[in-house]
A and B are shown apart, each in its own frame.
Chain A
Amino acid sequence: MITIRNYKKAESLEEAWRLNQQKSNRIIGGMLWLKMGKGTVQTAIDLSGLSLDQIEETEGEIRIGCMVSLRQLELHAGLDAYTGGAMKEALRHIVGVQFRNLATAGGSIFGRFGFSDVLTMFLAMDSYVELYKGGIVPMREFAGGGFDRDVLVRILVRKLPASFHYSSVRNTRTDFPVLTCAAVRFDTETGSDHRFAIGARPGRAIVIEDGDGILSGGFTAHESREEQACAFGEYAAAHVPAGSNMRGSAGYRKHLVKVLTQRAVLQIGGAAGC
């Protein structure tokens, strides 16, 4: 259990940011992972008094306060409708309802944990983080970046027309994932675009670059989709770095990258191909 000497419920983001500049201080999210640490925190900075526990939806955007719980994300009708249930699928296996009532969206994203379903899901979406000092940063850039002492205020999702698919492989239903895969097909005026994110490699989630342009012409017609899916799966497996941990070997993860991306292509490709 971590030791905390002082607790401060921040009265403004400025105050939170200022306190957070001290290395021995920490912003606390849901406290779930932080609690298990062994170190000492001088001052725990709590953002829960800043009304950042709201999800705001407009026509083109969903704005998620950093203190929004994973359970709120899971139950949000707008996110559910926009992602076609994929957001819920990304969240529902995480430990249990009581856990998800505490864990925060901000904490999950800021931590950039390798095992994170949440990061995998947001990475595939057209999403951004709003940092107090750093301004709005694309999720992809944030996910790949290092830790600094800025304050993550919100997560922003641009609601581009899209179809989603989320899947994960787990040794037990509520365990950490062995691999996560989020896939999106963005429907544009000229055709479609896509994005695939793979997490729990076991390293941080990344976006698969379609270097060979297998999907660059869009998804093929239904009949030949299997072939395209196979090709993309093989490509992804070859290019997504994977490692071993207690839950699975690097070789198994490579194999799962292939299987999950193949299945994702078949799922999001749409009925007719486009």
Chain B
Amino acid sequence: MNTVNRPVRKKDAMQLLTGQPVYTDDIAPKDCLIVKLLRSPYASAVIKDIETDIAMKIPGIEAVYTWKDVSQEERRFTLAGQTYPEPSPYDRLLLDRRVRYVGDPVAIVAGADDKCVDKALSLIRVEYEVLDPILDFRKALDNPVLVHPEENWESLCPVGADNKRNLCAHDESSQGDIEKVLGECEIVLDRVYHTKACQQTMMETFRTFCTIDTYGRLSVVSSTQIVFHCRRIIANALHIPKSMVRVSKPRIGGGFGAKQTSISEIYPAFVTWKTKKPSKIVFSREESMTASTPRHEMEMHVRLGAMKDGRIRGIDLYTLSNTGAYGEHGPTTVGLSGHKSIPLYGKAEAFRFVSDVVYTNVMSAGAYRGYGATQGLFAVESAVNELAAMLHMDPIRLREQNIVRQGDVMPAYYGQENTSCALDRCLAKVREMIKWDEIYPAKDMGNGKVRSVGMGMAMQGSGISGVDVGSAVLKLGDEGIYNLLIGAADMGTGCDTILAQIAAEVLDCGMEDIIVFGADTDASPYDSGSYASSTTYVTGKAVENCALKLREQICRLGARLLGCEYDQVEFDGKEVIWDGEHKVSLKDIATASMCGNDILLEASATHSSPISPPPFMAGAAEIEMDLLTGETKVVNFAAAVDCGTPINPNLARVQAEGGILQGIGMALTENITYDGKGRVLENSLMQYKIPARVDTGRIQVAFENSYEETGPFGAKSIGEVVINTPLPAVADAVYNASGLRFRELPITPCQIAMGRIREE
């Protein structure tokens, strides 16, 4: 292969590294109205009265909007970027008279500059009827206090939702008789695990600007992963025709799922639609930390049945998920906690997976890399690590005995066959990389410090089977250049480059010959968007198919120019050749295509996959712990990933390294706590501690490739699977160092030190 599986530079790399103005706020018109939101100080309240007259008098203020400007009876909507009809409930209004968490928007203010808008915000008088909030998600189900009592709440899909029970979704699935199997097991481990609402914390906060275009339509430029869903969401929120909205994205300063929800778009959209003036909103970091959609907090009850020889026979999982004030991604994230953890244990005879997703009066949750699998894998992998400790068995060996293999049918993964899998090789590789046999379980360093290891496995999907759609358009231009139009969103992951590599491979051309454009609802072919680990696998296949079609068209015109039939020619990327000696160059074909030509030198393709082949991964952490202070550092993390063929090994590697560090952050430092009134305490980068580069030692990544026949050139996904293994791996390493078992994250030095004192 010439281009695929090569570490080519990202097409936009040098523009980014030299600081060119390519992000939303860099290109926003200078005369944009500044849009900011007044937010609720209460977790649950009804706005009795709101007074905006004084605020409106501040010089420079253009508009102040409140719930009075928004019909409370019209159809609600969801901000979740999902394929229509969305599984997420329609439970939002642009401005709602009822506020449901600390930070819920109460008023939209637009004005000439920051200062006047800030001043106006401080002068809006609101009288609230403060209501009792539900802050504990364990008490939400069937609580007499309802988060969404309104009659126009709506669930479009059969996800088992009932707003009169604070229930956003309920699901049950099983295979075999789990109670019977557990009854036969020699060991049944019964444990409860808890993960919190961690923040995606992309460096660029949410931001959007809007203008009115030549045709009087609303043009929205936003830092989003989902231009097409965003168009629908904005039209729904504003109750205007979809034809009146255009959404495009410039470069995105990170997403990790956060920008799979339309957090910021609807507010400036409303302002610009009303005023017909350009406007922009830039979320502060505090807003991004307190009024966005972080990971769903989940509590997972695992019952793991095994025999003394280590045979895992049954897994019973109940997940309670906290969707917060609104249901974005609530019904869908929870499924992954079981469907992407249980199938790892391919020898189990039975499983049961039951889930409830509940509303509470905290910030709404949403999509974050891993999307529920992260939480479920922490629980199931930790339980397996506990089982290993109980059996005095090496956790890697225990896995080797039980893992799913290529060709196995995975009952807990929708009955799908495991079409490509190198998990066994991943385990062996990680054992070697981390020097497991030298360190496991722990080594005393002799200075009050202990080094120890722990591990975990993970799987994810590659797109949503039967749902996600990826498309591509390719056209030939002057002198043989190609335009590749996509609707997928490169959010730093490099999909513009990866998709171009696939096109270049098929078209036998150089990377410089492919010009990538994306994403714009007016110009791009339809794409669900960049989420669910779909872009390389789903859109990538569309690009491959599209390029094959274009090759055919090139051959058709080439054949006409050569005076033969198109099935008599070959195309080597530079020339169309007939009979080995008659040739016409691509350049000449391109020129001919623009003069008296009726053969379309453009192709489009759409792809969707009935299956979602899982990437697999094994990860192991080596930590160093100060036993007295409890300070713990991951000094080494080793991971082996099976993502099928890595289309771009460099970008795949960096995806893995970045995801692993986010997982380490979740395990050790990224905490979310609320005060008694439902306010998030970790509301800044000063309090919410994502890892800095001095916080960890090395992260090493190896690839153990399988070949996925249904993916482009054998590829599966990589974006999400990489975040999952650090959680159980670090937690088990902590156990091996300290003897303390933590079932809630993050694990802090305070907890370790105090835990050891208690043990003594």
Contacts and interface: CB of A to CB of B under 8 A. Distances in A.
In the complex, A touching B (Cβ < 8 A):
yes
Interface of A: 169-176, 178, 246-249, 251-252, 255-256, 259-260
B628 A259 contact: yes
A260 B757 CA distance: 16
Contact of A248 (B682, B689, B750): B750
Contacts of B695: 172-174
Quick one: which of B669, B681, B692 has the most chain A CB within 10 A? B692
A173 B750 contact: no
Contacts of A172: 669, 689, 691-692, 695
B271 to A, nearest CB: 23
Contact of B754 (A171, A173, A178, A252): A252
Interface in B672-699: 673, 681-682, 686-687, 689, 691-692, 694-695
Contacts of B749: 169, 171, 178, 248, 252
Dominant secondary structure of chain B at its interface with chain A: loop
B629 interface: yes
B629 A259 contact: yes
Contacts, number: 49
Given A172-B692, A178-B750, A255 B757 contact: yes
29 contacts: A169-B631, A169-B749, A170-B631, A171-B669, A171-B748, A171-B749, A171-B750, A172-B669, A172-B691, A172-B692, A173-B692, A173-B694, A174-B692, A174-B694, A178-B749, A246-B681, A246-B682, A246-B687, A247-B750, A248-B748, A248-B749, A248-B750, A249-B750, A251-B754, A252-B749, A252-B754, A255-B753, A256-B629, A256-B753
Nearest to B673: A246
Nearest to B628: A259
Contacts of A176: 686
A175 B681 CA distance: 15
Quick one: which of A176, A249, A252 has the most chain B CB within 10 A? A252
Contacts of A173: 692, 694-695
A248 B272 CA distance: 47
Q: Which 8 pairs between the two chains have the least Cβ-Cβ distance?
A: A173-B694, A248-B750, A252-B750, A172-B689, A259-B628, A169-B629, A174-B692, A172-B669
B728 to A, nearest CB: 21
A256 B629 CA distance: 6
Contacts of B671: 246
B681 A171 contact: no
Interface in B604-654: 628-631
A98 to B, nearest CB: 13
Interface of B: 628-631, 669, 671, 673, 681-682, 686-687, 689, 691-692, 694-695, 748-750, 753-754, 757
B68 to A, nearest CB: 29
A171 B691 CA distance: 10
A100 to B, nearest CB: 14
A174 B693 CA distance: 10
A255 B754 contact: yes
Contacts of A178: 749-750
Contacts of B631: 169-170
B60 to A, nearest CB: 16
A259 B754 CA distance: 13
Given A171-B749, A172-B691, 18 more contacts: A171-B669, A171-B689, A172-B669, A173-B695, A174-B692, A174-B694, A176-B686, A178-B749, A246-B682, A247-B750, A248-B749, A248-B750, A249-B754, A252-B630, A252-B750, A255-B753, A256-B629, A259-B628
A127 B689 CA distance: 34
Quick one: which of A171, A174, A176, A260 has the most chain B CB within 10 A? A171
A197 to B, nearest CB: 18
Nearest to A245: B681
A255 B691 CA distance: 25
A92 B451 CA distance: 25
A202 to B, nearest CB: 12
Nearest to B682: A246
Contacts of A260: 629
A159 B749 CA distance: 36
Contacts of B692: 172-174
Nearest to B633: A173
A173 B686 CA distance: 12
Nearest to B752: A252
A246 B673 CA distance: 9
B738 to A, nearest CB: 14
B698 to A, nearest CB: 15
Contacts of B628: 259
Contacts of A255: 753-754, 757
B759 to A, nearest CB: 13
B47 to A, nearest CB: 24
